[in-house]
Structure 1
């Protein structure tokens, strides 16, 4: 009886513990004999020995040449003790292959955004290292990209399987055929699969096509080019890849001999945001180019990916839709570019955009000339809030129905039941993501109410303080004007000005209308906090999904679905079931049906209606809030106009004062007067002196008030600069 264990000088592995299998080799899980470290061991079958010797040793040479974090690390090349064949010992990637990850029902529609960007970054880095060493892989696909989980829990994706790799300079070509047909460049597909044009040669850029297909697969969960019937429809596959126009990134045939559905955009149901799709789609279009005159170079690919990865994600909660959007902006771009990107996704003109970060206008925190690298750091749970000056309606997007789950067949089939259970898990994951998304949006609605209320109340508080200052200033000017007029009468000043009446004229409407309006709004909202109280009243009977732990409940239900699915997968592996096993199998099918109904009800009956009701109430509240905001802006404009008028009045009063002082100096010179006149003048001068002293005191008081206000303004500016500097340093 032969043993399942095999070994080399320093490693041992089990032939039944298979991690992956190809045409010429199998990868097993093994351990280091000395320290027990788990490893991956690649062994070669007899077919591999039929290859030329130089081809057999090429993989060893390539692995010895490369050394990079995003390429699976070579630990040793040893001889198997039993048959003396060479084995390759590599680090073990416990996360499995990217193909298996995409095959998981959680990723039916591709990886989530952050994981996609991680794959893109690591694939780019690994490929750049290969090209820096003049190497081509020639079999790039998700199955040859491994997920390595580091000790700190972070993920690193690594290229593996260099059996087809070889050294190839730019401009050099090769004739040998390698690769997996769904990921092959059309020219290589024509030779390798259709057996045509036997003398055609290929360059290093064939890897770029494979990267494009891989990235599309990672983004969507599906291959970009899919003929009806799959691999058996080879001619149609070749037709799709060679006849597509430039810019087309997918071609799908849904029925036999049917038309091809060409697409230039990524599908709606993939997990990437609109903002990321916008910059990834041109990248895919450039990679999936069969025309030799339009095909990208590696330098262009590396440059484009560099630009994508350098962009900064700005999370924005779009109030009018109650949804989250993402804008990817180059760190060197400015606030104006951010507005343009927002317009592309929302159709809100730049002049109508209001962006809040927490309770402050973004424009108060970021100057127009500041690069995006200086913008505040945002997250999905801590975004910017986007308002539209001209639109106070809130209309949420229509609900996206989940795929229909059909009941299990009355006839037990371990194969079909496992597939049906996997489909149920896929629906469960979609439902869970929607529950999480609507729960997040509901929480952001509440955050919007909180931040907008504080912003409006803060503006009213500042406006009220400004009003109080102007009213005090007006009183000082009024006293000064009255004293000034009395001085003019006593001195028989001929150029008398009616300053007090003029001040009353410019202040009448302000004190009777504007001041009353500011006082009223300030009392209602800054003091009594009416907007907040109105929201609390309107939303008292509403539930927020995040408060009812809906996301956690959805995750629990999906875990139950996955447990049942794995049970049916194990049943499929046994092929035949005993009577007892069959009864448990039936119970798992019942559990799956019940669980999928529960998670769908959680979404469709509980969470989405709660989000919908919350959005509807928020729409009503937002109209009131925007009305208060509009009134505040109108009053602020009136206050500013009055402040300008008061400033002009003060300047005119100062000029009149200078003229009057000159008159006093010129007309009350003692050397030109008689003693009699001097006596009468002394009496009037004493009276005038007393009045002027009072006037001087009032003037000094004005100066003190102005000085104090100047200090306050300087203090406010210093606080603003400090706040700006704080946000500029956050990145």
Structure 2
């Protein structure tokens, strides 16, 4: 145990070790609170005094939530060995997080964004103070879990840091080779003499490698044999990479280099975030310092990502999930353009459903006024035109087989690879199941909306049939009373009759078509019900999770075996059995994913394709029906009003020459009609007179009663 005036720690409780110092978990002697102490070794004291003091001074003036805080500088016992007492980060380093088997293919999107925000925040504080870190890497980014359960990442290890303004340069060499700028790599690792000076942008290269590692779980530039074994090829790759390239891989010795300008399919980031992140990586992973972005542009582009709102969208026909990054002040037409870039569904063909209801978007409406979306509650996107299903994009990880040979170190390393593959298979399974869930949910809502639209159109047809019947009845009545329709010439009468006949044909055709559509929707609903039942009975995720627990337990056991270096005979036999079990469990997971989850997913995807085609065809049929019903309703209202006017006014007064027999008959019928109307009015008048008479009689009775009352005296 070692201690200072106020802190103590065990030498076995080491958190990390470097070339010049070791970091231990310490406790305050009075409060028992945990701290991290950085204890410098004798190598550090071989450096110039000003270099030794540089880290103390740096930490004293830096105060930011994304930079590990310095609490004190003390001496060990009576010696002059300096100790930095710093904030203890219980979550370990970002490198520790990435080395966990579940993160072998990169962090989740939510966690990556936290890393991005934390590094940008910490680096911005450094640049405001004119500091260049010179050793940015996952091992120097610490993790703390806040009270809300959210991670916070903090920059640490400022032993290589120095004050350097944007236009200044330095000659000294610091850093870790995988994250080192190529110019510094050439001199420090390849030992080639050069007279190059380095600027603050060397930190940007390290940040680019760190972000790529965080997003994918692997380094961006990998020569055959690895960066540490093939240093010349590593330098060649980083300096000769084409513009826009963010990764490279050499798969065989002296083989060609495979360049990539995008993040791998195994990466767990959405296409929306990748599209914003890749240009940043391409611009800071630039070997030519003159072409590399400056910090101002890097901060501007990174903060642009962090200040965007995420709209979760599920494209129903394509069966794809999307995260659309837009600013909250953007209007929905910008959102729809962004959706078009990811789905290839043009804005005019986009229709939306949210929680079972149509979501109408006004083009000038701000995005912040849209309903809140999450990964579990996305907006469902439908295309007016048919779109072929795409489904979940994924790459099945390789699950290596254990060799029969007993090797503690090799077995432990292989166990980690197997466990990582099973974690990735579980992630793929969850993605496929979530996709199926959204297909079923979206289809249910779509069917309900289409059924309601069918019901509404049939209701409109019924109403229009009543209006049509009235128009036909009114025409017959007028013709019976007046002969040819007065106030209308023969051509107009003929045109009206034709239109009413066409209206009748249209309504009959529409009713038949809509009823046929309803039957098709009922068939789709029946198929949906069967698929939904199968989906909800599926327990693949639970089975894979159980197998993953068993695989993880064996992995931990093999790791413990590796630490012991040598096993007894019985322990060695158990080790071999456990290794075999791990292989069996991993095979079961593969079979579950391939033969159970994948087959059900593909079957539902095929059914969904038919459902979407049917619904798309029905929507195309219903749209003109609905429009025609509106137009026909307006026409029938106009005809109805005109016929009512003729009935109210009667035929025009006839003058001039004697009329034909038909016109005389029509006049006679008109007179009869007027007599009937006069008789009805007389009856109404008689009823009114009888009412007045009764009221007068009632008043007379009141007056008579008042008359018999004696008058008061003196009046």
TM-score, length-scaled by structure 2: 0.85
In structure 1, which of residues 84, 106, 110 is the aligned counterpart of residue 106 of structure 2?
110
Q: Work out the CA distance in 1 between the residues paired with 2:679 and 2:238.
A: 97
Q: Secondary structure at the match of 1:321?
A: coil
Match of 2:130 in 1: 134
Check the 8 A contact 1:534/1:621 in 2, yes or no: no
Q: Residues 297-348 of structure 1, C-alpha deviation per residue, up to 9 Å, x if partnerless?
A: 1110111012112233232223333232333233344333334333333333
Q: Residues 649-700 of structure 1, C-alpha deviation per residue, up to 9 Å, x if partnerless?
A: 3575688799x69967x99xxxxxxxxxxxx99977954866999xxxxxxx
Match of 2:318 in 1: 321
Match of 1:715 in 2: none
- When residues 635 and 683 of structure 1 are mapped into structure 2, their CA distance, relative to the original with a 3 A threshold, is closer
Q: Work out the CA distance in 1 between the residues paired with 2:513 and 2:256.
A: 68
Q: Secondary structure at the match of 2:310?
A: strand
Match of 1:294 in 2: 291
Check the 8 A contact 2:205/2:285 in 1, yes or no: yes
Alignment RMSD (CA, Å): 3.3
Q: Secondary structure at the match of 1:539?
A: helix
Match of 1:463 in 2: 457
Match of 1:728 in 2: none
Q: Residues 418-470 of structure 1, C-alpha deviation per residue, up to 9 Å, x if partnerless?
A: 01111110110111011111111111121022111111122223323333443
Q: Which runs of 5+ in 1 are unaligned?
A: 668-679, 694-731
In structure 1, which of residues 136, 143, 147 is the aligned counterpart of residue 139 of structure 2?
143
In structure 2, which of residues 189, 194, 198 is the aligned counterpart of residue 193 of structure 1?
189
Q: Work out the CA distance in 2 between the residues paired with 1:20 and 1:505.
A: 92
Q: Work out the CA distance in 1 between the residues paired with 2:680 and 2:423.
A: 84
In structure 2, which of residues 4, 8, 29 is the aligned counterpart of residue 8 of structure 1?
4
Q: Secondary structure at the match of 1:163?
A: coil
Match of 2:437 in 1: 443
State the shift of 1:502 in Å. 5.7
Q: Secondary structure at the match of 2:148?
A: coil
Match of 2:527 in 1: 535
> Is 2:339 aligned against 1:342?
yes
State the shift of 1:505 in Å. 3.4
Q: Residues 238-294 of structure 1, C-alpha deviation per residue, up to 9 Å, x if partnerless?
A: 222222232111232223333322221122222222222111110101111122332
Match of 1:675 in 2: none
Q: Residues 96-152 of structure 1, C-alpha deviation per residue, up to 9 Å, x if partnerless?
A: 111121122222221122211111111111111111222211110111111111122
Check the 8 A contact 1:320/1:393 in 2, yes or no: yes
> Is 2:381 aligned against 1:391?
no
- When residues 596 and 477 of structure 1 are mapped into structure 2, their CA distance, relative to the original with a 3 A threshold, is same
In structure 2, which of residues 427, 430, 438 is the aligned counterpart of residue 433 of structure 1?
427
Match of 1:702 in 2: none
- When residues 686 and 187 of structure 1 are mapped into structure 2, their CA distance, relative to the original with a 3 A threshold, is same
Q: Work out the CA distance in 1 between the residues paired with 2:394 and 2:116.
A: 31
Q: Work out the CA distance in 2 between the residues paired with 1:289 and 1:375.
A: 39
Q: Work out the CA distance in 2 between the residues paired with 1:331 and 1:510.
A: 48
Match of 2:89 in 1: 93
Superposed, which structure 2 residues align to 1:628-707 within 5 Å?
A: 628-649=618-639, 686-687=674-675
Which stretch has the larger CA shift, 49-58 or 478-487?
Answer: 478-487
- When residues 626 and 43 of structure 1 are mapped into structure 2, their CA distance, relative to the original with a 3 A threshold, is same
Q: Work out the CA distance in 2 between the residues paired with 1:124 and 1:189.
A: 24
- When residues 210 and 524 of structure 1 are mapped into structure 2, their CA distance, relative to the original with a 3 A threshold, is closer
Q: Work out the CA distance in 2 between the residues paired with 1:661 and 1:145.
A: 93
TM-score, length-scaled by structure 1: 0.84
Match of 2:693 in 1: none
Q: Secondary structure at the match of 1:231?
A: coil
Q: Work out the CA distance in 2 between the residues paired with 1:106 and 1:397.
A: 20
Q: Work out the CA distance in 1 between the residues paired with 2:491 and 2:672.
A: 22
- When residues 357 and 286 of structure 1 are mapped into structure 2, their CA distance, relative to the original with a 3 A threshold, is same
> Is 2:69 aligned against 1:60?
no
Count of residues paired in the alignment: 668
State the shift of 1:410 in Å. 2.2
> Is 2:29 aligned against 1:36?
no
Superposed, which structure 2 residues align to 1:134-213 within 5 Å?
A: 134-213=130-209
Check the 8 A contact 1:453/1:531 in 2, yes or no: no
Q: Residues 392-437 of structure 1, C-alpha deviation per residue, up to 9 Å, x if partnerless?
A: 654646874431421x222211001101111110110111011111
